[in-house]
Every structure is written in structure tokens, then in C-alpha cells.
Structure 1
Amino acid sequence: MTTAHSSDSWTAAVRRRLDLGRLLPLGGAADGTWLAERAAVEELRRAAAEMPGAVLGTVRLSPVDPASAEEPSVPPPPSALPPGRLRIEAEFGERFTAMTDEPLPAVAERLRAVLYTRAAEGLGLRVSEIDLRVTALLGPASESPAGPAAPIELQTAVPEGEPGLTAASVPGVACLTRTLGSAVAGTPGHVRVELATAAGHRPLDVARAVRERVAAAVPGGPSVAVLITATAVGAPR
């Protein structure tokens, strides 16, 4: 018999998984790393917030061409997108003040450059297209077109076993997380590690280090996949 408590736990687990959004390929096919769309969007919002003149609204990341997707070098997390080029689709509002009269196309180009830099250089996403759509003209004190973003709730995990302890010790790993069930999951010859990265560390670089160290620490040298559920942990919000 299913109890109310177990039913609630299952519902909460499903909700946490859906909150991650798509699991986006980070880096190329050989990198064996995925990043939660929710974490990517939060990073893009942080970048856009530093740019005067524009306020980011709804953001979505998706494959540019699913038919040209690549085969990952390791078994991916459940429902993860295969490696390939990504598109950012975003809505934004232009903020007008008494001191600004910048043309809308110029604002859009600046925003496009900011989003690309944070996605490609700051995170490691292979972005090749950015589609922007202006949806609002905002005054100095107007809210974001998408409203305030909900904070990411981390389901942290205590490091256990050789893979978990090794991964948690890598510089740039803020903590292990357990959104998909456990921080470390494995099958014969393969290990998947779920984690959040710390502020000041590029997620793709952290994931590469985790994969290398875990593969070296676990007997048999398994293949290693990394799922990053949050980034810039410890940064001001």
C-alpha cells in the first residue's frame, strides 16, 4: 500500500526533476557533461542584469538541429539532450530613462553579445544562435517582463564512497546534489555524478576535472558523466 508520505515524496521528486528543465549538453560529445537548463537560465539572467538598458524576460534553450546531434562518449543522464549546437530564445524589455536614448537594435545587439559570452565562455555551452524578441518598453522602476525569478533550491548530498568523496574534493565543486535520486549513481563500468559548482569557477572546467579524477580513483577506470544542477553557488543573488 502506498502511504501519503511516500506519495508526497514521489511528487516532490518529480517536481524537482521538472524544475531542472532540459538537461543541456555542456561542451562537446567527448566532455560527458550536462547542465540543467534552470541553472543556465539563472546565469544568463545574472549576466543580463549587469547590462543597462535591457531587462531579460522568458528564456529558453533548445537544440538548433536535433537531426545533427552527436553521440555522447558516455551514457547520458535520463532524458538528457545529446551533444550538439544550441539556440537561446529570449524575450526582453527595453528600459528607458531620462538619460538614455539608445536605439532598440543596438540594445538587442549588446544583449546578444552579453548572453553569448556568458553561455559560451562563462559556462561552456555550444551556442550558435540567439533569437531575441522585445516584448515591453519599461520605465526606470518597472519589473522584469518575466517577474522575479524563483531561487534555486539545492538538494544537497553528503559525499559517500570513493566517487563521491573524490568528486566533492575537486576545486570548484560547491556540493554534491541529489535531484535525480542520488549524488552518485552507477552501472558496471560507468559512474554518474550530480553536483553544483561554486562561484568563480567555469562549470565545464570543473566537470572535466571531476571526470578525470573520479575515473582515476575508482578501480577499473569507469566512464564518468557529470550533471551540474546549479552554478555560482555562494555568489550574491
Structure 2
Amino acid sequence: MTTADAVRARLGPGRLLPLGRADGGAWLTERAAEAVLARAAAGIDGVRPGLIRLALADPATALPATVPAPPSALPYGPLRIEADFAADGATLARQSLAALGDTVRGALLTAARDTLDLEVAEVGLRLTDVLDDDSAEPARPAEPDGGPRAVPPPGSPGDAADPVAVAVAEAAGVAGLTGVLGEPVHRAPDGVRVECAVAAGHRPLAVVRAVRTAARRALGAERPVSVLVTAVESAAPGTP
């Protein structure tokens, strides 16, 4: 296990990053964001992504959520990405470090905006190593260890069917229910929290809206519903 992998394992899902507006009640795990951003950086020739962290760009201006927030959830505001990366010597011989940094920064911003629906104000980069051409391995994004645990389909034998879980599992763009913080559907006196993974090709905010609508219909009452996205699936290679 590399140092970066050890850090990922220790951090678990990481911070819960704000999705959308403060009145939306939606978050994305830092672990899920890291996986998508690492894939984006690994797609650049000669680049090997390292540790990626996200935090509020300006905590002083962040807004609190208007619905009950899960533990470790950040308030709402633009984010800053801090990303380490290594590059091979041949790549740096063809272009300047500044130019390569601009390419990496652009890839991270595009993935954050177009795949994750995150608002990012700043990207900080750090070159951690220059790889020998003979020893450089093809860059590939490491899938974080200990991702969202599988949850049996709602109503499987031996389990009482949860109407909210059943409804959410059938919502557009939901790849499945997850249980990073506990049960996939967490009921509390002040509201309901749903955990799910987003299917490839779907935008997280659109899936959040579908999940919230499905949950409210199943509840049959107007209760606050917050949504935690714990994974965003990638399209298979060659898929448009």
C-alpha cells in the first residue's frame, strides 16, 4: 500500500462536500470526488495523480445548510482542490511545468464542474516527483480502498422492504443505495437522509432531485430529505 493509499484508508469517506445550494440538502463524499478527479488527471499523458484533497476556499463566507446536515458535512461555498501529481521526464522536456500544470488544472476543473457538479474556485497543484522514462508506469487512477459498502436490494429475502429505499433505488440515475455513514435510509426526528451512488452518465444534482422526489412520495409527508452521494460511477472505456 502506498502512502497515499494509507492516507485514503485512514480518512474514510473524507469531508462531505456541498452540492448545489444551501437549501438543497445534498453532499458528495470527498472520497467519491477524489476518484473522479484522479481519473481526469490520469488521462493526461505523462501524469500520475497523487493525493487529492478538497476543502472550502473561504470558510468565512460559507453558508450553513437549511436542512439537517450529516456528520462532517461542510457548509455551502466554493471549494479549493489541492492535488499532488508526478510527471515523467519526457513530458517535462516537451513542455514547461507551467503549461503542464495548466493542463492538469483544466482537467480537474472540468471534471469537478461537468461530472461532479461541484463549484470550485481554486486549484492548487504540487509536483511531487519527476519520473524516469524507463521506470514510469502508465498513469492510472487508483480506486480507493474501502469504498461504499454494498447494500442488499430493498426487500431481499429476510429483510423488510423499506418503501423509501425501494423508491430511491428506482429513481433515475441511481446506481444503488450505499451505507457509508450507516443505513442507506437514516431516519431521525428532524428528517431523513438517503445515501446513494450515481450511475455513469448522470449528473449528481439531477440524481439528487430525483432521489428527493422519490423519497418524499414514499414518505407520504413533507419531511426534510437530505441526500449523500457516496460514489459517481465512470463510463466503461469506449462508451460515449
Partner of 1:156: 150
**Backbone CA RMSD of aligned residues:** 2.6
User: How many Å separate the matches in 1 of 2:111 and 2:221?
Assistant: 37
Deviation for aligned residue 1:99: 10
Structure 1 residues 71 and 144, CA, compared in 2 at 3 Å: closer, same or farther? farther
Moved more, 40-49 or 136-145: 136-145
C-alpha separation in 2, matches of 1:98 and 1:121: 27
Aligned equivalent of 1:38: 31
Q: Deviations for 1:14-40, whole angstroms, at most 9, x for unmatched residues? A: x98941111111122132111111110
1:123 matched residue in structure 2: 116
Q: Deviations over 1:34-80 (max 9, x none)?
A: 11111100000111111113221111101111121112131111121
Equivalence for 2:194: 193
Q: Cα distance, 1:230 vs. partner?
A: 1.3
Report the counterpart of residue 54 of structure 1 in structure 2.
47
SS of structure 2 residue aligned to 1:109: helix
1:147–1:174 CA distance, 2 compared to 1 (3 A): closer
Range moving further from structure 2, 91-100 or 50-59: 91-100
| Residues 1-237 of structure 1: pairs in structure 2 closer than 5 A | 18-97=11-90, 101-140=94-133, 141-143=135-137, 148-157=142-151, 158-159=153-154, 160-188=161-189, 190-232=191-233, 235=236
Question: Relative to 1, partners in 2 of residues 1:56 and 1:98: Cα closer, same or farther, differing over 3 Å?
Answer: closer
- Where structure 2 has 5 or more consecutive residues not aligned to the other structure, the ranges are 1-7, 155-160
2:25 partner letter: G
- Tell me, in whole angstroms, the C-alpha distance in 2 between the residues paired with 1:50 and 1:144: 10
Unmatched tracts of structure 1, length 5 or more: 1-14
- Which deviates further from its counterpart, 53-62 or 42-51? 53-62
How many residue pairs align between the two structures?
Answer: 222
Worse-matched range after superposition: 184-193 or 105-114? 184-193
Q: State how far apart, in whole Å, the 1-side matches of 2:22 and 2:91 are.
A: 48
